[in-house]
Structure 1
């Protein structure tokens, strides 16, 4: 297993009765950095979210679609704006011709990035994703057949229309810089320390400008922003799993003041620490990964129909 996969949360995808894939609609609050074996297509139905991954970081707005590759480290942040997102997760087995097929596809599909759009456009792929999500929301026995057909059609469209590389063995590009991953692990282990970016630069023998370029190139964000996000992630865990008071949590997570803590927490989660604790973190699933919020099913259906019209 790749080194970074031992340090970050693996989200286990339960396919249930579906065909080597899973689809669902939810409103996103804040998800921790995580990875899964499945390919994940995210369609924003309403509002916008921020996707952070090894390959790309940026806002994904209404009607846009992004594919996160198998085993790609990523995080999703909803922020203060109301959002609604649809997800389709596909097993790598769906892209293989048989048990002896060891190929791994690495797709480049992002409707927010002009360089990662299929030549024939994103409409066909988005239509398949929309129909899959509608089948999931309708929950009728007859839709199981439609769901199966749409998933196979989606896989075919991805292979025929999207840009991709085929990997036959582990390549360094899959995980990014090993040094960056070591830096991330150092931050995780020393998140409570003061002046953490200075300590990090000293530990790895680099200047702060080099640190900035390394994190900006690898994660699309500055080292200071990443440290803040990791501190908020640790605070979320303590709020959810302990009875510690706010001063203890502020100190344990390395925030210099109560004001800094509240500002950072609300910016990244859209909630105050107290409301987050009372709502049990808004989690309905994997405790370390998901920050799912409630939504109206009929609103989601209406939005999906709009994408198909």
Structure 2
């Protein structure tokens, strides 16, 4: 049975404080467009302050989360799609457009550019809701238009929108780099805090406030992301992968893996290994 291409677009308006608590990395591309309000967005080890009209392109398997900033109300449009959905134009899109060649990034389009982007987003929303004849190729054509516009904006504005960078955030960035480097080792809150000459309580507070994750959540996501790569790319036994990614037991590894990916390690390997 062949895989089904995946595309989803949704518009959500939220009132009151909201911090994202769903899965925080996935094997689809994501486009996040802020229609109203303000948000903090943690992505790729940095924090961005989003304003109305900002657009984030998030690459596959990159850890991310949004949290509240300023006014509690916000409205956004979110697109998720996979490689299979754009397979017919992969050579043009993935191999030529700069969007897919590196890290995730934030764009700040002009008012005119915002208008064109919002028009395309609403056309996608209507098409998905109506589910008319030839809906999939029509959505593919709309997505291709959007990706080309984003590629042009990025080429014309080579200076990136920089992440937030105050003293506390710089300290958290250092902690993130440390965790990304030493995730496979036996880590404790006390040991991490001691390495940065702060208390464990202070470590937990600034990390959660800055990224939206607890320290333990973050370590688990980094470990599971590495485990996914090993399950896809090696023939190692699951027990060895658990050891190599810092888990103290196969039971703990299996429990955390299923909590994050909604599959067991063996199910993930079966679904993601080439035949």
Q: TM-score, normalised by structure 1?
A: 0.47
Give yes or no for the alignment of 1:220 onto 2:207: no
1:87 Cα shift?
Answer: 5.3
1:139 and 2:140 correspond:
no
Contact 1:235 1:249 in 2 (8 A): yes
Assess, with a 3 A threshold, how the Cα gap between structure 1 residues 249 and 42 changes in structure 2: closer, same or farther: farther
Tell me the distance in 2 between the aligned counterparts of 1:264 and 1:170. Answer: 34
- Distance in 2, matches of 1:205 and 1:33, equals 37
SS of alignment partner, residue 193 of structure 1: coil
Shift of 1:275: 0.6
What's the offset of the Cα at 1:230?
Answer: 0.9
Of Structure 1 and Structure 2, the greater helix share is in 2
For 1:1-309, list aligned pairs within 5 A: 25=7, 31=25, 40-41=31-32, 53=43, 69=56, 75=63, 86=80, 105=108, 127-131=122-126, 137-139=135-137, 144=141, 147=142, 171=162, 173=164, 177-280=169-272
- Cα 1:239–1:193, aligned 2, differ >3 Å: closer, same or farther? same
Deviation at 1:278, TM superposition (A): 0.9
Instruction: Tell me the matched-pair count.
Output: 197
Deviations 1:167-213 (A, max 9, x none): x8765517982322221121111111113433321221111112112
Bigger RCO (CA 8 Å, 6+ sep)? 1
What is the DSSP-based 3-state SS (H/G/I as helix, E as strand, rest coil) of the residue aligned with 1:256? coil
Q: Which runs of 5+ in 2 are unaligned?
A: 1-5, 10-21, 35-40, 66-77, 83-96, 100-106, 111-117, 151-158
Say whether the 8 Å CA contact 1:190–1:196 is kept in structure 2.
no
Q: Are the counterparts in 1 of residues 31 and 58 from structure 2 also a CA contact under 8 Å? A: no
Structure 1 residues not aligned, in runs of 5+? 1-23, 44-50, 57-65, 78-83, 94-103, 108-122, 156-167, 284-309
Mark the CA change 1:210 to 1:143 in structure 2 (over 3 Å): closer, same or farther: closer
Cα separation, 1, equivalents of 2:140 and 2:259: 39
Inter-partner Cα distance in structure 1 for 2:136 and 2:162: 41
The answer on whether the counterparts of 1:266 and 1:272 sit within 8 Å (CA) in structure 2 is yes
Supply the RMSD in Å over aligned alpha carbons.
5.3
Q: 1:251 to 1:179 in 2, by over 3 A?
A: same
TM-score by length of 2: 0.52
Per-residue CA deviation, residues 242-288 of structure 1 (Å, 9 max, x unaligned), is: 1111221111111111221111000000100011111116x9xxxxx
Gap change, CA 1:151 and 1:273, over 3 Å in 2: closer
